[in-house]
Amino acid sequence: MDLADSADLEDNMSTLLALEHISKSYPMANQDVPVLQDITFTVNEGEFVTIMGPSGSGKTTLMHILGCLDVPTEGHYRFHDKDLAHLSEMQLTRVRREHIGFVFQNFNLLTTLNALENVTLPLIYQRLSRHEQQRRAREALARVGLEHRLTYRPNQLSGGQQQRVAIARALVTRPPLILADEPTGNLDSQTGLEVLQLFQELSQEGHTIVMITHDRDVAKWGHRILEIKDGRIVADREVNR
């Protein structure tokens, strides 16, 4: 591909989400404590972005805003060109269900349900037959290599397998955005690598991924690293490969 073509390609990439001058503060005793300050960045469809920063820098707060689990104090959050910054609780819930797949550090699986049931759960809000729900959940579990563990409950699975069930659950609604908060934080390093490889494959398949981490070696798996410090973005760079 020559340079002109690749420039065209970049022009054609569409913006999935845009944060514009986002701030978040929490009311404490007699003053507001700022946690995020003037955060502005965009994520294009198909990007694999990592947000890296030390403990206490505001990563989880930012993830909650990106994931519509919380709203900013100031600024705009555009998702597919719709401003989400000031939606009601019910509207935010809908955006979450329909547009975002979550992966957490501690997997957040329901312990009384087996793998297939956990992955089927996000589909109960969609008008699908039970048969179709199960077909999609099986397909998502096969994608993460767990087609042979459908009836296992979380405590019968290793940490890496539990995280793969959680990733299948994030994928099953085919959301435009996958948000992962320290997804390898509870895994040993070999298992963590396997999970990062899986994210990389999902990225190659076209998924948009935003992954949060405090770990520079984990951050490098993204194609672009945003660094956050004291609630501000202090660097935004492409990763050279």
| Binding residues vs ligand ADP (CB under 6 A) | 26, 33, 35, 53, 55-61
In the complex with ligand ADP, the residue whose CB is nearer, 33 or 239, is: 33
Nearer to ligand ADP, 56 or 145 (CB): 56
Which entry of ligand ADP, Mg ion, none binds 56, CB below 5 to 8 A by partner kind? ligand ADP
The single-letter code of the amino acid at 122 is P
Tell me the two tokens of residue 180: 């992962």
| Residue closer to Mg ion, measured from CB, 61 or 133 | 61
Contact 180, 147 (CB under 8 A): no
Min separation Cβ 104 and ligand ADP, Å: 12
Please, are residues 108 and 166 in contact by the beta-carbon 8 Å criterion?
yes
Distance CA 236, CA 50 (A): 10
CB of 151 to ligand ADP, least distance (A): 35
- Sequence-ordered list of residues with C-beta below 8 angstroms from that of 199, at least 6 positions apart, any chain: 48, 167, 180, 183, 209, 211, 221
Q: Which residues bind Mg ion (CB under 5 A)?
A: 59-60
Beta-bridge mates of residue 17: 43, 79
Which residue number is nearest to Mg ion in terms of Cβ? 60
Q: How far is the CB of 61 from ligand ADP (least distance, A)?
A: 3
Min separation Cβ 124 and ligand ADP, Å: 30
Q: What angle do CA 215, 238, 64 make, to 5 degrees?
A: 55
Residue closer to Mg ion (CB basis): 47 or 182: 182
